[in-house]
Amino acid sequence: MKIACLSGKGGAGKTLTAVNLAAAAEKAVYIDCDVEEPNGRLFFRPDHVETETVCSLLPEFDAGACTGCRECVQFCRFHALMYVKDKPMVFSEVCHSCGGCSLVCPKKAITEKKKPIGILETGDSQTVRVVTGILNPGEASGVPVIREALKKAEGLTIIDCPPGSACSVMESVMDADFCILVAEPTAFGFHNFQMVFQLVSLLGKKCGVVINKQEAPWEPLERFCRDQGLPILARIPYDPQIAAMASDGRIVSREDPRLREMFSHILHTIGGSL
């Protein structure tokens, strides 16, 4: 089973939830798809870490074979190709590595070359397999790194998605069996929560809500969940002790039986095997 943890904004508690769900399971794979700022590894501190490079494919032109027909330019819907002063140009920042340009070239003048864009780190933390996607600084899209990271999914898999509702989030949840929406009970947090709920609804995903840092029920969020038929799976209290443990990189479900029971109950409720 693949369980994706999402939040409409950073700081809502998405990683806190994802890390502790994986730790509360008897055996799980944790995949950090927040490839621009992955921090799940700071909690797990995995051992025996192995690293592999992730590459994207960019078109490369054979100047001698290219006739300047511009079939590739007309084909590229992302406008990653131009023909300027009798030379083809590639804008790598917007190239989606689809390979279509090489297929439509009548002279077979286009091949593909590998460009390193990030890495995957894989290690172990007790019974959790920890997979971390890391995008190289300056790269425009983390989607290729996310795709490679998700290939490591096995058995019960907890996916720590990027914040927000952009393309990288959609890629992270595409194959998820259940989505946990982590909500912050504030006006700003509620606004962004509705955006991410709209995304998972468009994708037809089953979902539930974890409310983090709750001091008292916040009626706009409560009412929205009732109106949309969204089950509230857990309410994590606004607790200085939890905040202190998290800021110190400690996994609260491994140290506090009460919190371990809470995250185990979430897994049991949504059908995740323990």
- Convert the pLDDT of each residue in 192-208 to its tens digit: 999 999 999 999 999 99
- Of 238, 237, 229, 233, nearest to 265 by C-alpha is 233
- Of 52, 34, 50, 51, nearest to 143 by C-alpha is 34
Q: Please tell me the distance from the alpha carbon of residue 125 to that of residue 28, in angstroms, as a whole number.
A: 10
Q: Please tell me the distance from the alpha carbon of residue 186 to that of residue 127, in angstroms, as a whole number.
A: 35
Distance set, CA 144 to CA 68, 140, 169, 221, 236 (Å): 30, 11, 12, 34, 33
- Of 218, 172, 183, 166, nearest to 12 by C-alpha is 183
**34 close to 162: Cβ distance less than 8 angstroms:** yes
Tell me, what DSSP letter sits at residue 13? S
Q: What is the mean pLDDT of residues 209-215?
A: 92
215, pLDDT greater than 90: no
Q: Hey, how many other C-beta atoms are within 10 angstroms of the C-beta on 171?
A: 20
- Concatenating the DSSP letter of every residue in 175-229 gives T-SEEEEEE-SSHHHHHHHHHHHHHHHHTT--EEEEEEEESS--HHHHHHHHHHT
**163 close to 10: Cβ distance less than 8 angstroms:** yes
* Domains along the sequence of the chain with CATH: 2-54+117-270 (3.40.50.300), 56-115 (3.30.70.20)
243, pLDDT greater than 50: yes
- Convert the pLDDT of each residue in 72-97 to its tens digit: 999 999 999 998 888 888 998 888 88
pLDDT reported for residue 219: 93
Phi and psi at residue 34, in whole multiples of 5°? -80, 70
Position 110 confidence tier, pLDDT thresholds 50, 70, 90: very high
Position 103 confidence tier, pLDDT thresholds 50, 70, 90: very high
Tell me, what DSSP letter sits at residue 162? P
Distance set, CA 265 to CA 29, 126, 148, 214, 234 (Å): 18, 20, 30, 18, 9
pLDDT reported for residue 273: 53
8, pLDDT greater than 60: yes
pLDDT reported for residue 140: 80
Looking at this protein, which amino acid is placed at residue 206?
K
Q: Please tell me the distance from the alpha carbon of residue 25 to that of residue 144, in angstroms, as a whole number.
A: 28
Which two structure tokens, joined as six digits, stand for 41?
A: 């590894």
Looking at this protein, which amino acid is placed at residue 55?
C
pLDDT reported for residue 274: 45
- Convert the pLDDT of each residue in 130-181 to its tens digit: 999 999 998 888 899 999 999 999 999 999 999 988 889 999 999 999 999 9
Strands 2-6 and 157-160: parallel
pLDDT reported for residue 11: 86
Which two structure tokens, joined as six digits, stand for 95?
A: 């190239």
Of 10-14, 19-23, 131-135, the poorest mean pLDDT is in 10-14
66, pLDDT greater than 70: yes
pLDDT reported for residue 272: 64
Mean pLDDT, all residues of the chain: 92
Position 63 confidence tier, pLDDT thresholds 50, 70, 90: confident
- Convert the pLDDT of each residue in 33-50 to its tens digit: 999 999 999 999 999 999
If you count them, how many residues does the chain have?
274
Q: Which residue has the higher pLDDT, 8 or 181?
A: 181
Phi and psi at residue 205, in whole multiples of 5°? -90, 140
